Structure 1
Amino acid sequence: MSTALFIVDVQNDFTEGGALGVTGGDAVAVAISRHLAARAGDYDLIVASRDWHDADNANGGHFAADPDFVDTWPAHCVAGTAGAEYDPGFVTDAVTHHVKKGQGEPAYSLFEGVTDDGVTVAHLLDDHGVLEVDVVGIATDYCVRASALDAIAHGRRVRIFTDLVAGVAPTSTEAALAELAHAGAVLDESGA
């Protein structure tokens, strides 16, 4: 039985000081790196996603001058900018596949991304016979939530490492974790 690790959006714009910085994001980046250093061999596939938005448009309404912080957001993770790069605390050496999502449209789930070669995450999971997925990253209440729910919808057993995620706000993070547990995800700690 193959296992994958999803590392969701550990990017400069989502960690402290970024356009949509999440408290605890830098610490999560470092903790994920520790987890990879100790446990990368446990995974047949390690997929890291990045928001990768176009600079020359509103990305399908995702960017707004007066964002509501629900469906619209300030500009963030614009392709080729420092904000779109991985947080420096996240060591990517063990990552087997990098996917970019949100290229010209809103995208929350890692499943909405593709590799530079155009391969979808669903195709990667099928090709590697992945039945179980561990999920970590930023933000618990948005992209981590969406990625984990899509993994469940694609028939995978999902475990969320609660010590390797950071959310936008405590209330929405708790609600997201409760929703994920109700959907069948296991909430656990990595031990990293």
Structure 2
Amino acid sequence: MTRALLIVDVQNDFTEGGALGVDGGAAVASGISALLANAGDRYAAVFASRDWHDATGDNGGHFATDGAPDFVSTWPVHCVAGTAGADYHPDLDASRVTTHIRKGQGEPAYSAFQGTTDDGSTLRDALAEHGVTELDVAGIATDYCVRASVLDALDDGLAVTVIEDLVAGVADESSRAALEEMASRGARLGTSDSVLRG
């Protein structure tokens, strides 16, 4: 069994003070760095996704450019390619990331599986290349991009663990519902301590 870590969208715009900042986002960033410092050798690879939206246009209706966002399918401008908001949060040790994934380039994209690596491969291809069968998932936001990424990983037959203390969501109720849905679909809900224990 080959195990990898997927870090979902730990970016400045999704952490406190960002365009779509969630409470606990900075703590997730530092917590993931601590996990990698203490248990990074448990992972054959570390994948990290980022929203990487076009600066012009509405990115396929993802940005609310003609009215107020509904915060369900339309959003304020965020994570524009090449801006500080699209950068990884400074408390995330990105030097430990082996594969970077950009998603949403001109279109809505929630799952990391909708993105591409620097060489144009899909996350699915990259996971297969590394022989990954087990995937731990951490990041932002529990109720949107983490959820979508986990469900796609499960659909691909991967054994998935959501690291509950290393995710942060937009809202408590929808985050709880997302965790319940992921568990009902077969994801394990674990903690960073359980990862450290092996």
| One-letter amino acid of the counterpart of residue 29, structure 2 | A
**1:25 match:** 25
**Pick from 99, 102, 117: which aligns with 1:100?**
102
How many angstroms does 1:94 deviate by? Answer: 1.2
How many angstroms does 1:160 deviate by? Answer: 0.3
Answering whether residue 144 of structure 2 is matched by residue 142 of structure 1, we say yes
In the aligned structure 2, how far is the partner of 1:56 from the partner of 1:170? Answer: 32
**1:49 match:** 49
**1:182 match:** 184
Where in structure 2 are there 5+ consecutive unaligned residues?
none
Show CA shifts across 1:94-147 (max 9, x none). 110000000000000000111121011000111111111000000000000000
In the aligned structure 1, how far is the partner of 2:110 from the partner of 2:39? Answer: 26
In the aligned structure 2, how far is the partner of 1:75 from the partner of 1:152? Answer: 30
How many angstroms does 1:81 deviate by? Answer: 0.6
| One-letter amino acid of the counterpart of residue 45, structure 1 | A
In the aligned structure 2, how far is the partner of 1:180 from the partner of 1:96? Answer: 26
TM-score, length-scaled by structure 2: 0.95
TM-score, length-scaled by structure 1: 0.98
| One-letter amino acid of the counterpart of residue 3, structure 1 | R
**2:72 match:** 70
Structure 1 runs of 4+ aligned residues shifted over 3 Å read none
- Within a 5 Å distance, the mapping from 1:74-153 to structure 2 comes to 74-153=76-155
How many angstroms does 1:84 deviate by? Answer: 0.3
Show CA shifts across 1:23-48 (max 9, x none). 00001100000001111111111100
How many pairs are equivalent?
192
**2:38 match:** 38
In the aligned structure 2, how far is the partner of 1:155 from the partner of 1:125? Answer: 12
Question: Which secondary structure does the structure 2 equivalent of 1:57 belong to?
Answer: coil
| One-letter amino acid of the counterpart of residue 71, structure 1 | S
Show CA shifts across 1:135-172 (max 9, x none). 00000000000000000001101000000000011000
Q: Structure 1 vs Structure 2: percent identity of aligned residues?
A: 62
Question: Which secondary structure does the structure 2 equivalent of 1:93 belong to?
Answer: helix
Question: Which secondary structure does the structure 1 equivalent of 2:161 belong to?
Answer: strand
